[in-house]
């Protein structure tokens, strides 16, 4: 599997070097590939994780469809395919957020999952609690 793995570590950890950033991004990508394989029976062939600022993690995954899902897409059943995928991802929300929380050491405050059923591209977006707000009531 070819992975385009290129994740800024915990906010405030500026003493870490760029190798550390790449290592966290790569590990998140690997974990997302593993989770997709576990949930859907097939992992993506391309995965990339990036930080969009200090508090947002974006994972993009491509070529994730199973043969049955590919058939749905070819039949033009894009909405049915999106609905099915989104149902599974909502039902397993905690498994997605656990990966990000474990690897970044930050709490996920929001999780958004999206799918382009025509192009077989998925995006998992995680909004992290701002540093300093974690554990505060």
Q: How confident is the model at residue 19 (pLDDT cuts 50, 70, 90)?
A: low
Find out whether 128 and 105 touch, Cβ atoms under 8 Å: no
Q: What is the mean pLDDT of residues 22-27?
A: 92
Domain extents in the chain: 18-128
Calpha distance 40→60 (Å, rounded): 16
pLDDT at 68 over 50: yes
What mean pLDDT value characterizes the chain?
Answer: 85
Report CA-CA distances (Å) from 114 to 21, 87, 109.
24, 11, 17
- State the pTM of this model: 0.81
Find out whether 122 and 113 touch, Cβ atoms under 8 Å: yes
DSSP 8-state code for residue 129 = P
């Amino acid at each position: 599997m070819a992975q385009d793995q290129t994740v800024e570590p915990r906010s405030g950890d500026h003493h870490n070097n760029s190798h550390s950033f790449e290592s966290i991004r790569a590990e998140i990508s690997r974990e997302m590939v593993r989770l997709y394989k576990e949930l859907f029976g097939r992992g993506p062939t391309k995965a990339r994780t990036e930080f969009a600022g200090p508090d947002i993690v974006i994972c993009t995954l491509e070529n994730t469809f199973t043969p049955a899902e590919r058939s749905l897409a070819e039949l033009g059943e894009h909405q049915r395919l999106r609905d099915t995928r989104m149902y599974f991802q909502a039902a397993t929300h905690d498994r997605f957020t656990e990966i990000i929380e474990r690897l970044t050491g930050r709490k996920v405050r929001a999780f958004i999952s999206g799918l382009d059923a025509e192009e077989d591209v998925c995006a998992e977006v995680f909004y992290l609690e701002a540093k300093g707000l974690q554990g505060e009531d």
